[in-house]
Structure 1
Amino acid sequence: MPTANTFFKDHGGSWESPYGDFFLSWYSSQLIAHGDRLLSLASSVFSDSAVNIFGKVPLMHSWHGTRSHPSELTAGFYNTATRKGYEEVAEMFARNSCKIILPGMDQSDKYQLKESLSSPESLLAEIGTACNKHGVGISGQNSTVGAPDGLKQIKKNMLSENLNDSFIFQRIGAQFFAPEHFPLFIEFVRKLNQPELHSGNLPTKEGTTTATDSVHTRSNLNIHMQSA
C-alpha cells in the first residue's frame, strides 16, 4: 500500500512536513502553469468563434479514502484530506473560460476494491463543488462500458447540481452493442430525453415491456448526450 511509504503514510508522513508541502506545492504549480499556458493559447486562437474549449482532468480516485491521497499527489494534484487542491485547477479553467471533461461518471464506491480505499463518488463531488464555485462547466464521461450499475450512476451524476453540463459516452464498440448492454443504454437515453415516457413503452432485452422508474429532472436542466 502507498500509505506504508514514509512519504504517504496517513499520520506523520513526509507529505505533512514543511519539506513535503514545499515539494508538493512546487510540483502541482508546474502542472497548473502548464495547463494554464495550453488553455490560454487555445482560448486566444478560438476567441472569435463559438467553439467551446475543454480540458480533461483525470479522476484519480484510488486511495482517495486515505488522508494523503497518494494517487492524486503523484499525478500533480495537491489535494489531501487537509487541502482542497482542485480549487486551483477550477480557477485555472475559469480564468481561461474553459470547461472540464471529467471521466468516471459511471463509477460507484460500492464496487471498488476495499483494499484500494477508492472513492470515485466523493472525488467527483469534490471536483464538482470546486467547478461550481468558479463557474466552470463539466462534461462528464464514462470510464468503462458495462460497469456495475454504471448507467444508473451516470444518470445520478447528470442530475446532480454540480455535474450536469453535458455528457460524452465513450468506448462504443462490440461490448457496447452486446445484447446484455445495448437495450439498457436505449432505455437510459429514452428516460433522460423523455422523462414523461410511460414505463410500459420502454423495451427489455426480449423486446417486451417492463415497469421502470422514471427520471425526475429539474426544470432548468439542459442535458446534451454525445457519443465518442
Structure 2
Amino acid sequence: MATSNKNMLLNYVPVYVMLPLGVINVNNVFEDPDGLKEQLVQLRAAGVDGVMVDVWWGIIEQKGPKEYDWSAYKSLFQVVQECGLKLQAIMSFHQCGGNVGDVVNIPIPQWVLDIGESDPDIFYTNRSGTRDKEYLSVGVDNKPIFHGRTAIEIYSDYMKSFRENMSEFLKSELIIDIEVGLGPAGELRYPSYPQNQGWVFPGIGEFQCYDKYLKEDFKAAAARAGHPEWELPDDAGTYNDVPESTEFFKTNGTYLTEKGKFFLTWYSNQLLNHGDQILDEANKAFLGCKVKLAIKVSGIHWWYKVPNHAAELTAGYYNLDDRDGYRPIAKVVSRHHGILNFTCLEMRNSEQSSDAQSAPQELVQQVLSGGWRENIEVAGENALSRYDATAYNQIILNARPQGVNKDGPPKLRMYGVTYLRLSDELLEETNFDIFKKFVVKMHADQSHSDDPQEYNHAIPPLKRSGPNIPVDDLLEATKPIPPFPWDSETDMKVDG
C-alpha cells in the first residue's frame, strides 16, 4: 500500500449495524438464521465492519435466578462469525417495549417482576406514584432483596456468565465491544420521558426518584447537608409541560436555588455512582479479554437552547450553560478504560421544530468534546432510522469533525459509528446504494480493512479499572470548556 493510502487509512472510522431488536425472540429462539445470514452477507459485501446486538436479560435469565440459557445467542454469534463480521454485544438489562422504535416486547425477567408485585419500589417512580418497569431503580443497586442478591450482583453475575459461556467468541476476538446497559433503552439515564405513560415530544419529562429507596437516600443526604426539612421537588410539572409553566424550571425558578442545586447534584450523582459501580463489575468480569467496555448516553436535544435544559435535567444530566453535565460521565468512563457512545449523530438543528428549542448539533459537539477532553474514545449512533444523504453526511461530519488528514490521523476521530438499524427498508436497492456510499466515506475512500491495527484500533487485553475518582475531580469536570471546533461541512460527502 502506498504511503498516502496508509495515511488515509488512519482516517478510517469503522461502521457497525444494529441487528433487529427481536433477532432472538422473547422465547429465546433464533427464528430465522438463514434469512439473517443472507442479510449479513450483504452487509459484509458493503464493507460493514460488524454488527451490534442486544443480549436481553429478560430472555437469558427468564426461568429463575442464575438460570441462564445462552444457546440461541451462541447460534447467532456463530452466524455472525461465519460472515466475517465483528460483534458489539449489549448487556441489555432493560425492557424492550414502550419507547421510540420498540417493535417487540421483551420484559425484564418475570421472577424480578414478581418481586415488584410485593415491593413496587424496586422500580423508578414519578411524583404521582406511577411505576416504570423498564429497568430497576438505582435505589436498589445495593439492596439484597432479589433472593439474597443486590441489583449490582445480578448484573455482575450475568456478565460473568456471559464471559464463561461465550469464551470461544471472546478468544477468537469476534466480540470487540461490551456495551453495558445502565438504564432504559440501555442508556445511562432515568426513564424521564416514557411514551407508554403518555409522554409526547418535546415534553420536559419528569423526575423519577420517588420510590421509597431513593426518597430515603435523599432525606439522609439532605440531613447530612444540614437541611433535614428539604423534600424532593413538588413543583417540576408533568411529562408534557413546557419549562416556563413550572415553578422549578421557569426563569429564576427552583433549579437555581440552593435547594434546587442540591437536589440536581444528588439526582445526577445517583446515575454517576450507578454507572461507576456496574462498569467496575464489568471490568472485573471481562478482565484480560481483548474487548473494550462502552456505555451509551442519550441525546436529549430538546430544550437545550433554553437556560434550564429541562429535559436533560429530568433525565439525570445536570447540564446547564454554566455547568457541564457530560464531562463527569466521561471521567467515570475513563476510569474503566471505556468508550462513551452517544446518540443523535444524524440530526441537524434546521430539521427541528422551533417549539422544542432543540440544538442537536451543539449537544453532539459538547458531549464528544467532553469525551476527548478526558482522553477517552467516543463512538456514536443515529437516533432515528434515516436513509438520506443529508443524514449520512451529518454523521460523517461528526465522525471526523475537522475533516480527513492526508498526512496521518485526523486530530479528532470517532472510534466507530453504529447505524440504527438492519431492516428490509435499509436493504431496499436505492437505500442500500446510498448506505454503501456512506460506508466508503466513513472508511475515507479506503477498502474494508480486516486488521484494526492498520487504522489504529488494535484492542489490548482489558486491564483493571483505575482508582476511584475524587469528588473534587468530578466537580472540576463540571466547569464548561469550549468544544473543539467543528467544520461546517465534511470533505467526504455522500451523494444521492
**TM bucket, shorter chain:** 0.7 to 0.9
Question: In the alignment, is the contact (CA less than 8 A) between 2:379 and 2:417 conserved in 1?
Answer: yes
Find the counterpart in structure 1 of residue 355 from structure 2: 115
Q: In the aligned structure 1, how far is the partner of 2:398 from the partner of 2:310? A: 25
CA deviation map 1:11-35 (0-9, x unaligned): 2111111111000000001000000
CA deviation map 1:160-219 (0-9, x unaligned): 25551111112111221234422211111223335379xxxxxxxxxxxxxxx9629xxx
CA deviation map 1:111-160 (0-9, x unaligned): 01110001111111111111011111111111122266210101111112
* Aligned-pair CA distance for 1:86: 1.0
* Aligned-pair CA distance for 1:65: 0.7
TM-score by length of 1: 0.81
Greater CA drift, 143-152 or 57-66: 143-152
Q: Which amino acid aligns with 1:157?
A: N
Q: In the aligned structure 2, how far is the partner of 1:20 from the partner of 1:101? A: 29
Q: In the aligned structure 2, how far is the partner of 1:18 from the partner of 1:214? A: 47
Q: In the aligned structure 1, how far is the partner of 2:434 from the partner of 2:318? A: 38
CA 1:175/1:21 → structure 2, altered by over 3 Å: closer, same or farther? Answer: same
Q: In the aligned structure 2, how far is the partner of 1:191 from the partner of 1:162? A: 16
Q: In the aligned structure 2, how far is the partner of 1:163 from the partner of 1:8? A: 36
Higher gyration radius (CA): 2
Q: Which amino acid aligns with 1:7?
A: F
Choose which of 425, 444, 469 in structure 2 pairs with 1:175.
425
TM-score by length of 2: 0.39
CA 1:70/1:88 → structure 2, altered by over 3 Å: closer, same or farther? Answer: same
The 3-state SS of whatever aligns with 1:130 is helix
Find the counterpart in structure 1 of residue 391 from structure 2: 150
Find the counterpart in structure 1 of residue 440 from structure 2: 190
The 3-state SS of whatever aligns with 1:104 is coil
Percent identical among aligned pairs is 26
* Aligned-pair CA distance for 1:51: 1.1
RMSD: 2.0
Question: In the alignment, is the contact (CA less than 8 A) between 1:63 and 1:70 conserved in 2?
Answer: yes
The 3-state SS of whatever aligns with 2:426 is coil
Q: In the aligned structure 2, how far is the partner of 1:96 from the partner of 1:25? A: 22
2:465 is equivalent to residue 215 of structure 1: no
The 3-state SS of whatever aligns with 1:181 is helix
Q: Give the number of equivalent residue pairs.
A: 200
The gaps in structure 2 that reach 5 residues or longer are: 1-241, 402-410, 448-489
Q: In the aligned structure 1, how far is the partner of 2:412 from the partner of 2:246? A: 35
Q: Which amino acid aligns with 2:245?
A: A
2:293 is equivalent to residue 53 of structure 1: yes
Q: For residues 17-32 of structure 1, what are the structure 2 equivalents within 5 Å? A: 17-32=257-272
Question: In the alignment, is the contact (CA less than 8 A) between 1:90 and 1:134 conserved in 2?
Answer: yes
- More relative contact order, 1 or 2 (CA 8 Å, 6+ apart): 2
CA deviation map 1:89-116 (0-9, x unaligned): 1111011111111111111111011100
2:318 is equivalent to residue 78 of structure 1: yes
Q: In the aligned structure 2, how far is the partner of 1:145 from the partner of 1:170? A: 6
The gaps in structure 1 that reach 5 residues or longer are: 198-212, 217-228
Question: In the alignment, is the contact (CA less than 8 A) between 1:67 and 1:82 conserved in 2?
Answer: no
The 3-state SS of whatever aligns with 2:418 is strand
The 3-state SS of whatever aligns with 1:53 is strand
Q: Which amino acid aligns with 2:492?
A: V
Q: In the aligned structure 1, how far is the partner of 2:421 from the partner of 2:269? A: 32
Q: In the aligned structure 1, how far is the partner of 2:383 from the partner of 2:249? A: 26
Q: Which amino acid aligns with 1:104?
A: C
Q: In the aligned structure 1, how far is the partner of 2:362 from the partner of 2:441? A: 25
Find the counterpart in structure 2 of residue 164 from structure 1: 414
Q: Which amino acid aligns with 2:244?
A: T
